[in-house]
C-alpha cells in the first residue's frame, strides 16, 4: 500500500514511522540565528499587561514525533553547537532594541522594556541535544534581567535540570553587571494537548495524564510556574465535542496547578495531518469552536486562558466578521472577561457568548 493511503497505525510501535514518512521538506536553518523573534503583549498573573520578548530558537529537532507537530521544519538535524543559543539571544536582543546582559541588561533602546522572556525551542529546553547544558549559565546571564522566563519542555524531561536552571537564573540575577536584580521566576510550558483518554495515546506523544500530573507536581514542589498547551479539536475528535474536550483538558491542567492554559486550534501542514484529513480523521476547528472553548474555559475562573490567535483566518469561514471576532478574542486574552458575541449580518450567526 502507498504510504499516503495506509491508515494511521493502531499499534503505537508503528506510528513514529508512519508520521515520519509523511514529512514534507524542511529548511536548513543557521544555528547562530533564531528561527524568529518578536515582541508580544500578555496578561501576567497580577492582571497587568506585560511586554514579552519571544524568541523561537534554532536547535536540534525534538526526539518525539507527535502526530500533529510541524515544529521540526525549522530545526537542525545535528546536535546544537555549544554557544549557538547565547549567540541567537544576542542577535535577537540587538534587533529588538534590548541590550545583551553583559552590557547592562534589558534596558536598551526599547521602552517600556519587556518584563517577560519566552525562549521557545520547538521541543524541550531541557533536552541536552537541543540546548547544551554547558550553555545554561550563559543563557541565564542573558535572561536574568527579566521578571519571568518561560521555556517549554516535554513532561518526560522535567527533572533536576529544571531546578538547576532555576538556580542559575537566581545566581545570574545576583551577579548582574548593573547590580543585583530580583531573580526571574522560571515558568515551564508543557503540552498537555488533550485529556481525552482515547485521543491522547494516539497523538504519539508517549505521555499519559499521570506523567503530566507528576511533572506538574515536581514543578510545584520546586516553585516553578506551569503553563499548559491544550489543543482545540485534535485529530479523531468531532467538531461538536471539541470545545467540551478543550474545556475538560484545561480543567485537568488547572487541577495540576497550571496558572495559564493556552488554547491552540489544531493546524495541519506536516503531511501526517493531511493524510488523516483525507480519511476524515482530522479537520481544523472552526473559529466558532475556538470561541466556544475560550468562553467556557474562561468561565471556569481557574486561571488565565489565552486563545492562540496566530493565523486565525485559517479557521474562519466568514471574512466579514473575522476581524471583529479576532479583536474580541484578543481583548478577552487581555481582560480575561467573556465578552458578548459578535453579531454578523453576513453569516447571520453569532459567536458563543
Ligand atoms: S513533544 Fe512537542 S515539539 Fe516534540 S514532537 Fe511533540 S509537539 Fe512537537
Ligand atoms: Zn460573519
- Nearest atom (ligand 1) to Cα of 62: 4
At 32 the pLDDT is 97
Which phi and psi angles does 186 have, rounded to 5°?
Answer: -85, 135
Name the one residue in this structure whose C-alpha cell is 535577537: 92
At 353 the pLDDT is 44
Identify the helix (H) or strand (E) that includes residue 295.
helix 287-300
Q: Is the CB of 123 under 6 A from ligand 1?
A: yes
At 108 the pLDDT is 59
122 close to 35: Cβ distance less than 8 angstroms: yes
Residue nearest to atom 6 of ligand 1 (CA): 66
Q: Band of the pLDDT at 101, cuts 50, 70, 90? A: very low
126 close to 161: Cβ distance less than 8 angstroms: yes
At 178 the pLDDT is 85
**110 vs 54, higher pLDDT:** 54
- Nearest atom (ligand 1) to Cα of 63: 4
- In angstroms, the CA 165 to CA 76 distance is 23
272 close to 19: Cβ distance less than 8 angstroms: yes
Q: What is the mean pLDDT of residues 202-208?
A: 98
User: How far, in Å, is the centroid of ligand 1 from the Cα of 153?
Assistant: 9
At 4 the pLDDT is 54
224 close to 168: Cβ distance less than 8 angstroms: no
Q: What is the mean pLDDT of residues 245-268?
A: 98
The answer to whether residue 104 scores a pLDDT higher than 60 is no
The answer to whether residue 107 scores a pLDDT higher than 60 is no
211 to 52, 65, 180: CA distances (angstroms): 30, 17, 37
The answer to whether residue 283 scores a pLDDT higher than 70 is yes
Secondary structure (H, E, C), 266-293: CCCCCCHHHHHHHCCCCCCCCHHHHHHH
At 102 the pLDDT is 42
The answer to whether residue 120 scores a pLDDT higher than 80 is yes
The answer to whether residue 182 scores a pLDDT higher than 60 is yes
User: How far, in Å, is the centroid of ligand 1 from the Cα of 63?
Assistant: 8
At 5 the pLDDT is 73
The answer to whether residue 218 scores a pLDDT higher than 70 is yes
pLDDT in tens, 65-98: 999 999 999 999 999 999 999 999 999 999 999 8
The answer to whether residue 352 scores a pLDDT higher than 60 is no
Q: Which residues of 239-260 are buried (b: 16+ CB within 10 A; e: fewer)?
A: eeebbebbbbbbbbbbebebbb
The answer to whether residue 221 scores a pLDDT higher than 50 is yes
65 to 134, 193, 281, 327: CA distances (angstroms): 26, 14, 18, 34
Q: What is the mean pLDDT of residues 231-256?
A: 98
At 3 the pLDDT is 54
User: How far, in Å, is the centroid of ligand 1 from the Cα of 104?
Assistant: 35
The answer to whether residue 103 scores a pLDDT higher than 50 is no
The cell numbers describing 306, all together, are: 489565552
12 close to 203: Cβ distance less than 8 angstroms: no
Amino acid at each position: 500500500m502507498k504510504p499516503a493511503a495506509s491508515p494511521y497505525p493502531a499499534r503505537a510501535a508503528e506510528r513514529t514511522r508512519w508520521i515520519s514518512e509523511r514529512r514534507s521538506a524542511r529548511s536548513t536553518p543557521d544555528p547562530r540565528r533564531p528561527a524568529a523573534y518578536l515582541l508580544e503583549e500578555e496578561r501576567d498573573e497580577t492582571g497587568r499587561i506585560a511586554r514579552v520578548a519571544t524568541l523561537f530558537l534554532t536547535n536540534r529537532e525534538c526526539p518525539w514525533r507527535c502526530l500533529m507537530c510541524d515544529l521540526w521544519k525549522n530545526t537542525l538535524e545535528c546536535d546544537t553547537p555549544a554557544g549557538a543559543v547565547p549567540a541567537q539571544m544576542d542577535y535577537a536582543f540587538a534587533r529588538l532594541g534590548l541590550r545583551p546582559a553583559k552590557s547592562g541588561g534589558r534596558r536598551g533602546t526599547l521602552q517600556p522594556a519587556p518584563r517577560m522572556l519566552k525562549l521557545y525551542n520547538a521541543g524541550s529546553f531541557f533536552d541536552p541535544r537541543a540546548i547544551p547544558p554547558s550553555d545554561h549559565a550563559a543563557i541565564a546571564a542573558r535572561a536574568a534581567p527579566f521578571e519571568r522566563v518561560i521555556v517549554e519542555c516535554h513532561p518526560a524531561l522535567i527533572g533536576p535540570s529544571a531546578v538547576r536552571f532555576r538556580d542559575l537564573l537566581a545566581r545570574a540575577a545576583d551577579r548582574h553587571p548593573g547590580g543585583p536584580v530580583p531573580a526571574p521566576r522560571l515558568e515551564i510550558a508543557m503540552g498537555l494537548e488533550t485529556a481525552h483518554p482515547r485521543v491522547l495515546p494516539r497523538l504519539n506523544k508517549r505521555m499519559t495524564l499521570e506523567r503530566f500530573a507528576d511533572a506538574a507536581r515536581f514543578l510545584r514542589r520546586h516553585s516553578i510556574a506551569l503553563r499548559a498547551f491544550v489543543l482545540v479539536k485534535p485529530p479523531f475528535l468531532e467538531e461538536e465535542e471539541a470545545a467540551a474536550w478543550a474545556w475538560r483538558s484545561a480543567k485537568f491542567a488547572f487541577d495540576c496547578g497550571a496558572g495559564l492554559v493556552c488554547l491552540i486550534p489544531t493546524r495541519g501542514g506536516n503531511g501526517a495531518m493531511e493524510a488523516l484529513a483525507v480519511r476524515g480523521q482530522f479537520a481544523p476547528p472552526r473559529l466558532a469552536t475556538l470561541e466556544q472553548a475560550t468562553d467556557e474555559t474562561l468561565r471556569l475562573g481557574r486561571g488565565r486562558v489565552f486563545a492562540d490567535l496566530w493565523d486565525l483566518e485559517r479557521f474562519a469561514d466568514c471574512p466579514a466578521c473575522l476581524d471583529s471576532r479576532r479583536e474580541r478574542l484578543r481583548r478577552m486574552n487581555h481582560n480575561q472577561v467573556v465578552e458578548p458575541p459578535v453579531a454578523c449580518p453576513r453569516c447571520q450567526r453569532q459567536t458563543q457568548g
